[in-house]
Amino acid sequence: MRRHQACRCREHVEATSREDCLRSGDTRAIRALFSTSTGSRCAGGGAEAGAHAARAYFTARHHTPKAFLKVDFRNAFNEIRRDNLLRAVKEELPDFYAFIYQAYRTPSELYWGTTPISSDLGVQQGDPLRPALFALVLQPIVDAIATELNLWYLDDGTVGGDPEKVIEALTTIIAMAKEVGLTLNFRKCEVAI
């Protein structure tokens, strides 16, 4: 096996393949994408911490009217456009690009019994990078939202703030999501004022 040149982490100098490097757990580059200079977007406690923060915001006394919006995307992991996925990986995680490109450059052939089904959208079920790849595509949408509360756990988002800002956020979410192949599941979306 050939040594993978792109993996520069000291712990993985002896990695014998790209797959070994990825499997070995060096996720620093991925974690760095989802953190900011003001703190981590990926808080300890994950979804539970987010739920507590959203509840605290929703039940707090505010001096002006506030809107609270919960959004969910329809079949999200299976609908993102792979061209956007590959572009995001190439720009944000260039060391991972060759590996991800091999997995997503062409449609996958899935089977229902003996019937082949071409899979040319989304991130594959069973891919251990699936959540990170989905979050990578979604991150520009999250970054474009300018509300007081902006919490996401993969395809579930919660935004809150002045009603005008929340409506603006909803418009942004719908428009930007369409560009990457996502649509809101309005049956699961909720709003409160």
Digit-coded pLDDT (tens) for 144-169: 999 999 999 889 899 999 999 999 99
pLDDT the model gives residue 52: 78
d(CA 72, CA 153): 10
| Mean pLDDT calculated for residue range 163-179 | 96
Q: Reduced to 3 states, what is the DSSP secondary structure of residue 22?
A: helix
d(CA 167, CA 68): 10
d(CA 37, CA 13): 29
pLDDT the model gives residue 153: 87
pTM of the model: 0.75
d(CA 150, CA 133): 20
pLDDT the model gives residue 121: 94
Of 10-19, 28-37, 81-90, 164-173, least confident by mean pLDDT is 10-19
d(CA 130, CA 110): 17
Confidence of residue 49 (pLDDT cuts 50, 70, 90): confident
